[in-house]
């Protein structure tokens, strides 16, 4: 089975915070888990894709770049987006189809926006998805803490399906590139 790791909006200013926003919840843990999963992906020869949001740091400078503490493999692909949806207006879907990808492992920021949208859109586009439950983060909202938002999305997206394809939630210490979706079908 062909697979890809999709790391969404794990950008310097978004994760650390900036003039407009606080840094994400448990940033160091999330960065560590992203690096652990990148190591898994490299060992399994999985395609690695980073998505950067052009709204972060106005699409320029060090704040726009993937966080400095994340190890970006030399052969990783980077796409920039202008929407919440990583598939909208980017070559992501074409790239994944060209590589015959069937399973996506997704991590990054922010849980209730770009992560949720990517997971749901991927299932619509015929991919099984593993969301790394301890590999995505966000900030507090006016009514929920970041921790509650993350827990809610892990609960909601575990078992989310679009008839033939669905998402499950697993953690970074699991063998994420040995999908377990068929045990749920």
pLDDT tens-digit series, residues 57-89: 999 999 999 999 999 999 999 999 999 999 999
Determine the length of the chain.
185
pLDDT tens-digit series, residues 112-121: 999 999 999 9
Domains of the chain, by residue range, sit at: 3-178
Angle at Cα 120 formed by Cα 101 and Cα 135, nearest 5°? 80
Q: What is the 3-state secondary structure (H, E, C) of 74-121?
A: CCCEEEEECCCCCCCCCCHHHHHHHCCCCEEEEEEECHHHHHHHHHHH
Pick the CATH number of 3-178 from 1.10.10.10, 3.40.50.850, 3.40.50.720, 3.40.50.300: 3.40.50.850
Would you state the pLDDT for residue 162? 76
| Residue 137: band (very low, low, confident or very high) from pLDDT cuts 50, 70, 90 | very high
Check: pTM over 0.95? Answer yes or no.
yes
Cα 175 from Cα 63, distance rounded (Å) = 32
């Amino acid at each position: 089975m062909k697979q890809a790791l999709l790391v969404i909006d794990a950008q310097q200013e978004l994760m650390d915070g900036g003039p407009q926003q606080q840094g994400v919840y448990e940033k160091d843990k999330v960065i560590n888990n992203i690096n652990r999963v990148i190591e898994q992906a490299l060992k399994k020869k999985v395609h690695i894709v980073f998505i950067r949001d052009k709204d972060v740091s106005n699409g320029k400078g060090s704040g726009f770049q993937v966080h400095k503490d994340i190890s970006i493999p030399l052969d990783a692909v980077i796409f920039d987006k202008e929407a919440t949806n990583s598939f909208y207006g980017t070559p992501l879907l074409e790239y994944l189809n060209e590589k015959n990808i069937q399973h996506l492992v997704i991590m990054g920021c922010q849980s209730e926006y770009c992560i949720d949208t990517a997971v749901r859109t991927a299932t619509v586009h015929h991919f099984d998805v593993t969301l790394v439950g301890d590999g995505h983060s966000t900030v507090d909202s006016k009514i929920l803490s970041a921790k509650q938002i993350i827990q809610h999305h892990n609960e909601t997206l575990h078992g989310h399906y679009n008839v033939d394809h669905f998402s499950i939630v697993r953690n970074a210490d699991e063998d994420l590139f040995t999908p377990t979706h068929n045990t749920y079908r």
